[in-house]
Amino acid sequence: MNTLSHAANASAAQADWSYGATGASRAGLPLTLSIYADRPQVRATLSEDAGAAGLRVGVAADLSAMAAAEARPLGDILMIDCPVVDPATMAALAALDLRAARSGARLIVSTSVSALDDVFGCLDQSQVQILVDPDRAERVIALGHVLAQFPAARLRELSEDERHLLMRLTEQVGQIAGRIERLAPGRQGMDDTLQAPGATGAAIASKSGDAGEARTRALRPPLPDPRLVRKVIRHRQLRARYFDGQLFADPAWDMLLDLCAARAEHRRVSVTSLCIASAVPPTTALRWIGQMVEQGLFVRVGDHADRRRAFIELSDRSADALARYFAELGPDTPLV
The CATH number of whichever domain residue 266 belongs to comes to: 1.10.10.10
My answer on whether 165 and 50 are in the same domain is no
Query: Does any domain span residue 187?
Result: yes
Which sign does the torsion angle of CA 264, 267, 273, 274 carry? Answer: positive
Could you say which DSSP state residue 76 is in? Answer: S
Work out how many domains the chain is built from and give that number: 2
Residue 272 has pLDDT above 50, yes or no: yes
> With the C-alpha atoms ordered 135, 130, 119, 257, is the resulting torsion angle positive or negative?
negative
Do the domain assignments include residue 68?
A: yes
**263 & 287 share domain:** yes
pLDDT of 2 higher than 90: no
Residue 199 covered by a domain: no
Residue-level pLDDT at 68: 76
Q: 147 and 213 share a domain?
A: no
Tell me the residue ranges of DSSP E strands in the chain: 32-37, 56-61, 77-81, 106-111, 128-132, 269-270, 298-302, 310-314
- Of residues 112 and 12, more confidently modeled: 112
What is residue 287's three-state secondary structure?
helix
Question: Which of 16-30, 60-74, 119-133 comes out lowest in average pLDDT?
Answer: 16-30
Q: Is residue 313 part of a domain?
A: yes
Taking Cα atoms as reference points, which of 295, 280, 290 lies closest to residue 312?
290
CATH of the domain at 47: 3.40.50.2300
Residue 80 confidence (pLDDT) above 90: yes
Q: Is residue 262 part of a domain?
A: yes
Cβ count within 10 A of residue 235: 12
Higher pLDDT, 254 or 188: 254
Q: Are residues 131 and 179 in the same domain?
A: no
The answer to whether residues 119 and 163 belong to one domain is no
Residues 132 and 255 in one domain: no
pLDDT in tens, 176-213: 666 666 665 554 433 333 233 333 333 333 334 445 44
Residue 237 pLDDT level (bands cut at 50, 70, 90): confident
Q: Are residues 236 and 163 in the same domain?
A: yes
Domain around 269? 159-194+208-336
In a domain, 202, yes or no: no
* Residues 29 and 167 placed together within one structural domain of the fold: no
Residue 201 within a domain: no
Which has the minimum average pLDDT: 105-114, 164-173, 251-260, 291-300? 164-173
pLDDT (tens digit per residue) in 217-231 = 556 688 888 998 999
Q: Record the pTM.
A: 0.71
Whether residue 59 is found in the same domain as residue 15: yes
Residue 268 covered by a domain: yes
Reading phi first (left if > 0) and then psi (alpha if -120 to 50, else beta), residue 174 is in: alpha
Same domain, 152 and 239: no
For residues 186 and 62, state if they share a domain. no
The per-residue pLDDT for range 95-122, each reduced to its tens digit, is 999 999 998 899 999 999 999 999 999 9
279 Rama sector, left if φ>0, alpha if ψ -120 to 50, beta otherwise: left
Same domain, 293 and 173: yes
**Mean pLDDT within 242-247:** 83
